[in-house]
Structure 1
Amino acid sequence: MATLLYHLGRMAFRWRWFVTLLWVAILGLAGFASTKAAPAADEGFTMPGIESQKAFDLLDQRFPGSAADGASARIVFVAPHGQKITASQNKAAVEQLFDGAGRGSQAASSVDPFEAKAVSKDASTAYATVTFKVTAANLTDASKNHLERSLDEIRDKGLTVEVGGDALATQPAAGGASEAIGIAIAAVVLLITFGSLAAAGLPLLTAILGIGISMTTIKVLADTFNLSNTTGTLATMLGLACGIDYALFVVSRYREERGKGHEPREAAGLAAGTAGSAVVFAGLTVVIALAGLSVVGIPVLTKMGLAAAGAVVIAVLISVTLVPAFLGFWPNAVLSRGIRTGRKRSLRKKEHNAGSRWASLVMRHPLPVLLLGVVGLGAIAAPALNLQLGMPGDEAKSTSTTERRAYDDLAKGFGPGFNGPLTIVVDAKSTENPKAAVATIAQDIADTDGVVSVSAPRFNAVGNTAVFSATPATSPTNAKTQDLVKTIRDERAGIESKADATFEVTGKTALNIDVAEKVQASLIPYLVVVVGLAIVLLLVVFRSLLVPLKAAAGFLLSVLAALGAVVAVFQQGHGASLLGIESTGPIMSMMPIFLVGIVFGLAMDYEVFLVSRIREAYVHGDQPQQAVVSGFKHSARVVIAAALIMMAVFSGFIGADGSMIKMIGFGLAIAVLFDAFIVRMAIVPAVLALLGNKAWYLPRWLNRLLPNIDVEGEKLSHKVPAPADPDPIDESALQPVPMR
């Protein structure tokens, strides 16, 4: 591997114009194709295999044209203070709206709230729902404008009108400013790390180019694979962060080789052969973690994982080809000013730096450092024991949104459970008296403790299927509501036997429960597949039994601590106001497995980058403890810079509008903090110090079976002649190098 990438780096350096133009052409072709590509049709959120999804599918089948997953607008009317919504002038205004609300070409139905008796007991509030034949993403501007104009007319008559549902909901924006903030912070970190504008700018330039290729490609494939707007968010996060970090490691190694006296092309080849090898295998671990999300069986999660994996692959390819090519244009501009002017003659002559001094400190006190790190992360992980999963809805939105105000008005007027009704779908196809069967089921559910009321059943045209709502006494996120769903399902066998018909429970709360259970059931298989494959990969990279196991254990500490921090902030509310979170609630159901997958890939990044330098020193003759110090000397500063960049990119998304993106950004940023600064910088050297030579033990039979990929570049040390002591670099060398 090292030899192959060494030659690839030299070739890219020599043929820099060709390599650069090739990548620019790829970007141009992808960009052109994206302008011609059709947008993806939003199929909505689906999760095969759960009861809630089966109920939705039955609705679509038995109620053709009703669009069970179509867009909806729940319109809430509140009378002025001291008035009633049933007053003649207020009632006339509301009825006027619904006379025209259902006339749009995409509208499916609209019901007068007074005919449906959708008025609160104190007559201050009323509501009605307008449903559409298509999903929110496929609603035309004409349909939206028609409804908005009607609502404005009602507001002009003095009524307070708020709209829930997804028909008029503003889609959260996670891009733009988020990426800009991350890039700006990354630029500062790179400038401090390298002390050179060129060295700081090169990783940013290549990462942005990679993101451009990734996002335009996703847009091209959006219609074919039904990729939603959310799909590209994760690809942007990881593509940008990994792209900067991977280029950072190659540039850093190039500077190190130049400091040793190697001429530019040789240094580019060595950087690609050593740091590039680490980049390839670090990227592979990330790809494994992302592609492994398909094990969960959630289509949207699978698509997000595969799209992000593609972005990481592009970042790896750019790092081992385009980065050496750019180094060929300005081979000396990326060096620090001290080396260019001769004030720093050689990196070899600097015996100690902050990284080596820190490693030496850990070597002297490994056990206290290990215990402090493990106990500290364990304490932070403690809130995860109280994890409550769900799908944050309108209650988690800002009070500045009409969706949140509609939610609050409904809860005030009709009770907290009104915002999360259970939808009961009855299949009476096999019974002789469908109406009697449905009435029996509705009555038994109405008699269940925790149910406030049930609506009148609505039958399909054939009369063999009915649907009705059951309103809980508690809010959708309340644990008692979840218990109610489980109670109804547990008592289903007896109810179905009495009614001679079957039914399914769906709705927001039921869907949340089903999704959480499916995710939890998939977590162990996912961990087995992903962690197992990664351990095998690390066995090949490090040729050690204990180092991969230590890496996996450190990852578990990181991810549990990150999950504990997410629960503490987003569920329990500790420090939530500092992040602009107005209301707390359950953690997004997919967050744990999402966090596991992404954090695992990133954790293995730092493991490969850091430990490969330690193993390189060990392979070249250093004693175990000295190898750790040497590895930290050459890599600690760069690993810390890479972690800070990752944190900057992810933290930028905390300012996004969507609660899901905000939660993901915070979770990934805090996970990188824990993994890079506590696990990899403290726990890893402490464990290696305690293990000594045993850390690198590998049975002979396994050593013969594993391929020797030479990540450390040991073969290169025999092929490449040792450089002479470097001379001061002439400032004239900062000009572009002519083609050879």
Structure 2
Amino acid sequence: MSIYLYRWGKFAFRRKWIVLPVWLLFFLILGGLGATLQKPMTDDFSMPNLPSERATDILDKHFPGMSEAFAFDAVTGTYVVGAPAGQKLTDPQNRAALDGLIAAIEKLDIVDKSKPIVDPITATEEMGCLTAQPDPSTCSAAPLNVLNKTAPDTVAFFSVPFTIKEFADITADDRHAAYNAGDAARSAGLTVEISGSIAMEQEMPSGKSELIGMAVALVVMIVAFGAIVAAFVPIITAIVGLGAATSLIFLSTSVLTVPSFTTFLASMIGIALSIDYALFIVSRYKHELHVQDSPEEAAGTALGTAGSAVVFAGLTVIIALVGLSIVGVKFLTFMGLGGAVAAAFAVLTAITLMPALLGAFGKALFKPKLPLIAQHDPEDDNVVTNGTRVARVIAKFPAITMILAIALLGLLAAPALNLNLGLPGDDSMPKTSTVRKAYDLRTEGFGEGSNGVLQIAVDLSDTPVDQRPAALNALSEQLRSYPDMDLVTEPQMSEDGAGALINGIPKTGPNAQSTKDLVQSARDAEPALHEQYNMSYGITGTTAIYADIDHVLLSKIVPYMAIVAGAAFVLLILVFRSILVPLTAALGFLLSMAATFGATVLIFQEGKFDLIKDPHPLVSFLPIMLIGLVFGLAMDYQVFLVTRMREEFVHGASPTEAVIKGYHHGARVVTSAAIIMISVFGSFLLESDVTAKSMGFALAVGVALDAFVVRMVLIPALLVLLGKWAWWIPKWLDRIVPDIDVEGTRVRDIQAERRAIAPPQG
């Protein structure tokens, strides 16, 4: 590979005015097609084959149409109403205001007039049935949209049916109309808030994160290159690479249903990788300018060596991201594919566009030089840099530095034992939003569990008619027996008499572990009840769906890591021609991941140091996304740093000296690349969306720990301790593994032969 990249690098450098217009034309065509053919993205977070689907099937069988309310893209809306302080909703003036609210809602064009809104006060006063132990002799079936424990006092809520088909069809005017319907009631003193998808607004990234990441990257590269012009070259490749990747994603919406979160991940990956890869190649080019015969030769050599490492580093990222498809979750699959597209374009721009840009800027690339920064070439073997000093300390005390690194990571990993996962729900919305206010008001009135009601759909088709009451009573008593169950309603029978629906209200919220355990306990009780009464049931609702998704995602982590790590391990064997180097790379990653989870739990879940004012469980798909992304990036740094160490070892240095020299050459570029990554990811903390915040933080911490603790401390220490055995490979494996020559040995052989034939002049 190094030979092909070497030749292409020279060609692109020499024929820059051919390569650059071709790239520009390609970029404009792709961008134009993406903008013209783009279709709206969706927010479908559905998963196939969840246990909660069993309840949906029963509802479809006995309660036709009712299951539509539990679809991920269903349009739902619940109004939560609070009385003024010191008053009750049943007071005449408040009763009148509530009646006016319902009348105003019913007048909205987006409300389904065929399904009357159930007045929460009247319905509950008539039945008084939703108590912990209802009296079956006086209680009729409770309506599905009323969940008050007792007669309404200060808080009530009711559901509203809408005519809008899907969440994606909701417009800003629809949201405003639904909210403004409560203005008269608010003027009368009532508190009126709305939950449900009718009040949800999809917050796309503001763009501030990308700009901040770019700005920090520019400063870092000015310091790394010691010149201003060179710092803009990686920015150019990042803009082109991300623009092309985003355009391709937009173009794909014309034939595929693409989740909206796809572009968020692509922007994260595209900016960071494009800049990192360009930084790596330009740094090598700067060094080669001092040792090669011409700038063209320097460009070819930089691409043949650093470019080869970029290709394989990019492949590890692409493998990790494409591997997300094995989870079987649509939005994760598309997020992974979107990130993989961005990573592919980052590699493509680095190895095709970059050498042409180097040729276009020519001698002006490293000008003007900054006097306080560009005092010497950091890659000059005769210069002692900070990287050299750190490497020498590690080489002198390898065991101590290894133990300290492991101890630090272990200490940070400890909080990960308390990891709790959940999905972004009403409780994760900003406290100023109407959705969050509705959640808090409902919690105040009826307990947090009222926000995550369990719907138990019962199938009595195979139960004898005379045993059905006893079967339902047994199920209800079983549900009431759980200490974490706050309330169980009387069964609502279907018209055919062979189905029933029971509502269960947990004591805790949808994302609480105790609630998830409650769902599992209720499901575990089914076999015994089925054996006794031949009755079947399923559990759905927000809480049950959250628990199902958590279980699915967690169950996929091990096979996902096995597949991705296995593929990357084989790839790294090709790169390093070693068994122990890829193995230590993977083990180091496990340590950095554990520490990253611990730090994220500490800040976002436990709320330590008051960095997050509203701590919550971590989003369910964060662990598997974090593993995929950071694994790919970790292998990037492994390739960047350790390929240079192998290059020195192959060219005759002792194992310890190879580590020191490789560290000397690679430390600055890896440090710069990591700082850029941390800045890009960390800037997403400025987003208002809690998912973006937590993901940005976790990625930033993951990169910091893996780059600065694992790759730049732990791995060099291990390589020194292993000595020549670090580069050992069984002879039988050495014979079958193709020599891809990442270190550019063949390039140097060609250059040596050419110099021997025609030595350079002057």
* 1:711 has 2:742 as partner: yes
Distance 1:343 1:364, change over 3 A: closer
Alignment match, 2:606: 572
Asked if structure 1 preserves the Cα contact closer than 8 Å seen for 2:179 and 2:194, the reply is no
Alignment match, 1:366: 398
Asked if structure 1 preserves the Cα contact closer than 8 Å seen for 2:443 and 2:449, the reply is yes
**3-state secondary structure, aligned to 1:335:** coil
**Equivalent residue for 1:680, pick from 711, 714, 736:** 711
Shift of 1:606: 0.1
Alignment match, 1:28: 28
Alignment match, 1:387: 419
Shift of 1:106: 4.8
Alignment match, 1:162: 193
How many angstroms apart in 2 are the aligned matches of 1:460 and 1:195? 76
- 1:512-561 Cα distance to aligned partner (Å, 9 max, x none): 22222222221211111111111110000000111000111111111111
How many angstroms apart in 2 are the aligned matches of 1:626 and 1:677? 20
Comparing 7-16 with 364-373, greater Cα deviation is found at: 7-16
Alignment of 1:50-65 (within 5 A): 50-56=50-56, 59=59, 63-64=64-65
Alignment of 1:80-91 (within 5 A): 80-91=84-95
Distance 1:3 1:115, change over 3 A: farther
Count of residues in correspondence between the two structures: 725
Distance 1:94 1:593, change over 3 A: same
Alignment match, 1:354: 386
Alignment of 1:449-488 (within 5 A): 449-458=483-492, 464-488=498-522
Distance 1:358 1:450, change over 3 A: closer
Alignment match, 1:411: 443
2:243 aligned partner, one-letter code: G
Shift of 1:342: 11
Distance 1:349 1:545, change over 3 A: closer
Comparing 144-153 with 663-672, greater Cα deviation is found at: 144-153
* 1:96 has 2:100 as partner: yes
Alignment match, 2:214: 183
Asked if structure 1 preserves the Cα contact closer than 8 Å seen for 2:575 and 2:740, the reply is yes
| Gapped regions of structure 2 (runs ≥ 5) | 125-145
**Equivalent residue for 1:700, pick from 712, 731, 739:** 731
Shift of 1:498: 4.3
Asked if structure 2 preserves the Cα contact closer than 8 Å seen for 1:562 and 1:671, the reply is yes
**3-state secondary structure, aligned to 2:432:** coil
Asked if structure 1 preserves the Cα contact closer than 8 Å seen for 2:216 and 2:676, the reply is yes
Comparing 225-234 with 560-569, greater Cα deviation is found at: 225-234
Alignment match, 1:48: 48
Comparing 77-86 with 366-375, greater Cα deviation is found at: 77-86
Shift of 1:468: 3.5
* 1:39 has 2:64 as partner: no
Alignment match, 1:126: 156
Distance 1:342 1:206, change over 3 A: closer
How does the TM-score come out when normalised to structure 2? 0.90
Alignment match, 1:3: 3
- 1:386-414 Cα distance to aligned partner (Å, 9 max, x none): 21222242223332222222111111111
How many angstroms apart in 1 are the aligned matches of 2:296 and 2:69? 62
* 1:605 has 2:636 as partner: yes
Asked if structure 2 preserves the Cα contact closer than 8 Å seen for 1:345 and 1:727, the reply is no
Alignment match, 2:527: 493
Distance 1:346 1:472, change over 3 A: closer
Distance 1:650 1:342, change over 3 A: closer
Alignment match, 2:130: none
* 1:239 has 2:238 as partner: no
Shift of 1:489: 1.2
Shift of 1:495: 2.7
Comparing 703-712 with 193-202, greater Cα deviation is found at: 193-202
Alignment of 1:426-437 (within 5 A): 426-431=458-463, 433=465, 436=469
| Gapped regions of structure 1 (runs ≥ 5) | 729-740
1:112 aligned partner, one-letter code: D
Asked if structure 2 preserves the Cα contact closer than 8 Å seen for 1:425 and 1:466, the reply is yes
Root mean square deviation of aligned Cα: 2.7
**Equivalent residue for 1:400, pick from 412, 428, 432:** 432
Shift of 1:197: 1.6
Asked if structure 2 preserves the Cα contact closer than 8 Å seen for 1:259 and 1:346, the reply is no
- 1:132-182 Cα distance to aligned partner (Å, 9 max, x none): 353322213443333123122322222111112221123233341111111
- 1:95-120 Cα distance to aligned partner (Å, 9 max, x none): 23333535656545543222442456
**Equivalent residue for 1:259, pick from 281, 290, 294:** 290
Comparing 73-82 with 435-444, greater Cα deviation is found at: 435-444
Distance 1:130 1:363, change over 3 A: same
Distance 1:649 1:426, change over 3 A: same
Distance 1:222 1:461, change over 3 A: farther
How many angstroms apart in 1 are the aligned matches of 2:215 and 2:760? 34
Asked if structure 2 preserves the Cα contact closer than 8 Å seen for 1:291 and 1:309, the reply is yes
1:412 aligned partner, one-letter code: E
How does the TM-score come out when normalised to structure 1? 0.92
Asked if structure 2 preserves the Cα contact closer than 8 Å seen for 1:174 and 1:233, the reply is yes
Distance 1:196 1:458, change over 3 A: farther
Shift of 1:195: 1.7
**3-state secondary structure, aligned to 1:330:** helix
- 1:180-204 Cα distance to aligned partner (Å, 9 max, x none): 1111111111111112221111111
Identity percentage over the alignment?
Answer: 40
- 1:347-372 Cα distance to aligned partner (Å, 9 max, x none): 64633222122111111111100110
2:160 aligned partner, one-letter code: V
How many angstroms apart in 2 are the aligned matches of 1:173 and 1:140? 15
**3-state secondary structure, aligned to 1:225:** coil
Asked if structure 2 preserves the Cα contact closer than 8 Å seen for 1:60 and 1:67, the reply is no
How many angstroms apart in 1 are the aligned matches of 2:701 and 2:557? 21
Alignment match, 1:113: 120
Shift of 1:344: 5.5
